[in-house]
Structure 1
Amino acid sequence: MSKIRWSNYMIKKKYNSEQIIRLLRQAEVILSHGEHVIRMCKQLGISDATYYKWRKEYGGMEISKVKRLKNLEVENMRLKRAIAELTLSNLILKDVAEGN
């Protein structure tokens, strides 16, 4: 049975939006000095897939814009939930009114 070498596996970390923006800025600086993406990711402790995903989602955004986007997403989810609850209540009331 082979031993698992934990040093070869990256431990999954959770980053908030501000940390992601800071890491992307650090990545830009490192890459501007001619470093390759793989080495830059290793320096920052992230995978290259994570880097590309973050760059696609947060690239060029400022922290204030990311906070606003996250707040809007939370508000949107809350409103969708409220609409679903009202729609369900409306359907129940229609069934009761029809005598079902």
Structure 2
Amino acid sequence: MRKSRFTEAQIIGMINEQEAGLPTAELCRKHGLSPATFYKLKAKYGGMDLSDAKRLKQL
């Protein structure tokens, strides 16, 4: 499986930026990823805290 360019902390930070009101297109341009990738990551990590993501990785 290919390693992600972004850590769990970075992904959760991006999701929090988008939830704070930053438009998705601008967020994707800023971080260099496609909107489809962002929504895929949001489906996986949405609603998680950093501690939840670390626990998920341990499982």
Runs of at least 5 residues in structure 1 that lack an aligned partner in the other structure: 1-12, 73-100
The alpha-carbon distance between structure 1 residues 41 and 51, as it changes in their structure 2 partners (threshold 3 A), is same
Answering whether residue 15 of structure 2 is matched by residue 24 of structure 1, we say: yes
The residue aligned with 2:27 is 40
Per the normalisation by structure 1, the TM-score is: 0.49
Per the normalisation by structure 2, the TM-score is: 0.77
Partner secondary structure for residue 23 of structure 1: helix
Larger radius of gyration: 1
Please provide the CA RMSD for this pair. 1.7
The number of aligned residues is 56
- Alpha-carbon displacement from aligned partner over 1:50-94 (angstroms, at most 9, x marks no partner): 11011100001000011001101xxxxxxxxxxxxxxxxxxxxxx
How many percent identity over aligned positions? 38
Runs of at least 5 residues in structure 2 that lack an aligned partner in the other structure: none
Answering whether residue 50 of structure 2 is matched by residue 59 of structure 1, we say: no
Q: Which has the higher contact order (CA 8 A, sep 6+)?
A: 2
Higher helix share: 1
AA in 1 matched with 2:15: L
Deviation for aligned residue 1:43: 2.3
Deviation for aligned residue 1:23: 1.4
